[in-house]
């Protein structure tokens, strides 16, 4: 007696919710769901493939970062024919800034799919952008360049990229202030100084001095943040002079 061959579902029940979630986010059916699962594996799991190589989202994040940069660069090259290399580089940096990628990851609610031994409440903001880039890397491996480009256009470029608006968006006030000081041959330096703040969490107090004049002071939970905050205050104090050059 011949028996009809048993048909196995390529997406078992354990993968059902994940597969449907990915299909909704991507706008198409994944071909190899296993690639997308890797995009959400945190290194704390210490998972390895059959060859002993580590399995986590970091390699896909590297690939996704490159694909995102390529697609955004191509879009800017076509849309802004008058833009020189420096302009195009600045615009791309604004679009793929860590803050922007984190917002995209949050909008897509990607954190719910991350597998980790670390409680999700312990992750920093960058986890959202990291897995968003890993997801793009997975799309490229699963579906190729054209589908990857289409996803980036639909999820990043169409809803968020407005050239005129981006032209007025400052990425780093510190970079602007330093660039202006260098052009004007002005001496400047950032200095951490004593602060008697009563916050329970440690804060750094930074002052920005330009030509021996203290232009701004700021406090934040890291030296980098305090420097950026002080730079922003200095920028607005010097805005007319900076923008006239």
Per-residue pLDDT 10s for the chain (245 aa) are 344 333 333 333 346 789 999 999 999 999 999 999 999 999 999 999 899 999 999 999 999 999 999 999 999 999 988 888 888 888 898 899 888 899 999 999 999 999 999 898 888 889 999 999 999 999 999 999 999 999 999 999 998 888 877 777 777 888 889 989 999 999 999 999 866 555 556 788 999 999 999 999 998 888 888 898 999 899 888 888 887 76
Q: Crossing angle of helices 126-143/58-79, nearest 10°? A: 80
The CATH 1.10.1520.10 domain(s) of the chain lie at 13-165
User: Could you give the CA distance from residue 181 to residue 200 in angstroms, rounded to a whole number?
Assistant: 35
By CB neighbour count within 10 A (0-12 exposed, 13-18 middle, 19+ buried), where does 230 fall? buried
Q: Which of 61, 65, 142, 228 is catalytic?
A: 65
User: Could you give the CA distance from residue 129 to residue 101 in angstroms, rounded to a whole number?
Assistant: 4
Count Cβ atoms below 10 Å from residue 19 Cβ, excluding itself.
Answer: 18
Asked if the 173-243 domain carries CATH number 3.40.50.1820, the reply is: no
58 included as an active-site residue: no
- What pTM was computed for the model? 0.66
Residue among 179, 191, 195 at smallest CA distance from 223: 191
Q: Which of 58, 79, 82, 133 is catalytic?
A: 133
133 included as an active-site residue: yes
User: Could you give the CA distance from residue 116 to residue 124 in angstroms, rounded to a whole number?
Assistant: 14
Which CATH number is correct for 13-165, 3.40.50.2000, 3.30.70.270, 1.10.1520.10, 3.40.50.880?
A: 1.10.1520.10
The CATH 3.30.160.20 domain(s) of the chain lie at 173-243
User: Could you give the CA distance from residue 49 to residue 188 in angstroms, rounded to a whole number?
Assistant: 51
């Amino acid at each position: 007696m011949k028996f009809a061959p048993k048909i196995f579902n390529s997406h078992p029940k354990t993968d059902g919710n994940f597969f449907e979630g990915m299909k909704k986010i991507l706008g198409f059916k994944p071909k190899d769901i296993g690639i997308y699962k890797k995009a959400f594996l945190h290194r704390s799991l210490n998972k390895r493939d059959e060859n002993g190589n580590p399995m986590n989202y970091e390699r896909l994040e590297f690939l996704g970062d490159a694909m995102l940069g390529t697609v955004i660069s191509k879009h800017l090259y076509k849309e802004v024919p008058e833009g020189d290399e420096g302009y195009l580089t600045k615009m791309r940096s604004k679009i793929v800034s860590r803050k922007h990628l984190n917002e995209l990851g949050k909008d897509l609610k990607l954190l719910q799919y991350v597998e980790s031994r670390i409680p999700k409440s312990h992750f920093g903001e960058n986890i959202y952008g990291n897995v968003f880039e890993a997801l793009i890397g997975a799309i490229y491996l699963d579906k190729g360049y054209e589908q990857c480009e289409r996803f980036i256009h639909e999820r990043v470029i169409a809803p968020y990229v407005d050239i005129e608006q981006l032209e007025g968006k400052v990425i780093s006030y510190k970079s602007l202030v330093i660039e202006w000081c260098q052009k004007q041959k002005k001496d400047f330096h950032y200095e951490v100084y004593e602060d008697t703040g009563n916050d329970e969490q440690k804060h750094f107090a930074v002052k920005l001095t330009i030509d021996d004049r203290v232009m701004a002071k700021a406090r934040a939970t890291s030296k980098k943040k305090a420097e950026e905050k002080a730079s922003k205050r200095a920028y607005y104090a010097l805005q007319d002079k900076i923008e006239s050059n």
